[in-house]
Amino acid sequence: MAVKFYQKENQVPLEMHKVRMVQKLTLLPVEERLRAIQEAGNNTFLLQNRDIYMDMITDSGVNGMSDKQVASMLVADDSYAGSETWNRAKAALKEVFGVDNALPVHQGRAAENILAEALVKPGQKALMNFHFTTTKAHITRCGGEVIELVDPKGLKPQSDDLFKGDFNLDSLRNCIKETTPENIAFIRVEAGTNLIGGQPVSLKNMLDVAGIAKENGVISVLDASLLQDNVYFMKTREEQCKDMTTKEIYHTLADNFDIIYFSARKLGFSRGGFIISKDAKWTNQLMEFIPLYEGFLTYGGMEVRSIEAAAQGLLESLDMEYINQGPEFIAYLAKELDDYGVPVILPAGGLGCHLNCSEFVPDMPHNQYPAAAVGAAVYIAGGIRGMERGTVSEQREEDGTERYAELELQRLAVPRRVFTLSQIKYCADRVKWVWDNRKLIGGLEWTMEPKVLRFFFGRMKEIGHWQEDLAAKFREDFGDSL
């Protein structure tokens, strides 16, 4: 239940923690920010942390850990085999999901690699509400094809729909019929659908998808990396979940999906990841790949202190006062920007606030990369590092043509328990300035384009000299302010 303020004008999301350790930040002058983004090839991943004021590129592995998580790291058992740390992690997974069968991996994409290696055969299709970058890369690497079946409502930038990540169930049934079950590797539900704005999936829709998979003899997989945000939305938006405990929701999902995997960099606020199942036949099938790719079955490439922290973080993910911090602060930022007239994805989802860059630069073609251009502009304006979630985050078709993104988004992630409310308001202020000066924003072109996951380390340059013009306008408007 939200804490109400007596004076309505003071109503803000309330931090349910106190700060006991701080890290110094740097805010460079705008001219140095211009230099930094150009030296980074207009790729925010290539910026140096020393050049960033607000790091909003991701919430993966950069959330603020609790005191209990930090304390748990001191009792880690670093035995190669038979580790008590692994036993405590399995106990936490049992408590949260109600499962006995678990495998450790070093992060979420490692789980995707193992699932692809074990389950995807050349020519098979993987059906999902929407793809994630690394998920798709692993499936296509193994000769598979990704089919996206998100409900059309999920691609509307703004609507009143509360679960825009839902599968279109009619499309799913038709696709299974046309493809035939033996040609389907698995059906994957992504909680908190990342590339369309962190949009949640309803519990009803998840269970319907799992039921359809079972009816047709197809493996059902849940990517639970963003599940804690999704559970928050289920509890606050879905009638059937309001009287369920968070644990009941987690257990219900584990009871119905064949395989669940997740990154503990997100769910658990630590490092590493897990693959779990109610039925041992699935973990037994995947088990042989753990020593091959990850490490032994009691650490799976994870450092044991991180396993301890992840176990404690999983237990804390049952607490609504723990899992509300992301969605409520993201909603606040999205509302601030919407009130300013800035186009954002609404309703706000989890993970971060998403700028609708197609409206920032409506005349810019996809092959000049609108979302990346807006991201560079936001960094120049405020030292704020976001992440491109548009066409740059796609991968080219086999014939070399671009696959244009359905949505051109710049994601401003909100790591949990990291930023103060004044910093959130600073972010909104600088994005508003970029919006008001959007006519200065120009396009980008490749100078070095990797073939796979190009958004991580590709490099681009501005078309023309729009970035210098933007920096000059900032100096004109802000004087001697940074």
Closest CA to 294 of 115, 133, 482: 115
Q: Which two tokens stand for residue 374?
A: 């807006």
The residues that are catalytic are 80, 132-133, 223, 266, 389, 455
Closest CA to 145 of 85, 108, 188: 188
Q: Evaluate whether 403 touches 308 at the Cβ level (below 8 Å).
A: no
Q: Evaluate whether 229 touches 240 at the Cβ level (below 8 Å).
A: no
Kindly report the CA angle at 110 between 107 and 115, in degrees rounded to 5?
A: 130
- The residues with which 352 forms a beta bridge, in sequence order, are 413
Per 3-state DSSP, the chain is made up of helix, strand and coil in percentages (nearest 5) of 45, 15, 40
Query: CB within 8 A of 193, min separation 6: which ones?
Result: 129, 130, 150, 154, 164, 165, 199, 200, 201, 349
Q: Evaluate whether 378 touches 410 at the Cβ level (below 8 Å).
A: yes
- Rounded distance between C-alpha atoms, residue 476 and residue 470, angstroms: 10
SS3 214: helix
Q: Evaluate whether 111 touches 308 at the Cβ level (below 8 Å).
A: no
Closest CA to 209 of 229, 193, 188, 192: 188
Provide the residue count of the chain.
482
User: Any idea of the CA torsion for 61, 64, 65, 67, to the nearest 10 degrees?
Assistant: 160
Q: What is the DSSP string of 64-95?
A: PPPHHHHHHGGG----SSS-HHHHHHHHHHHH
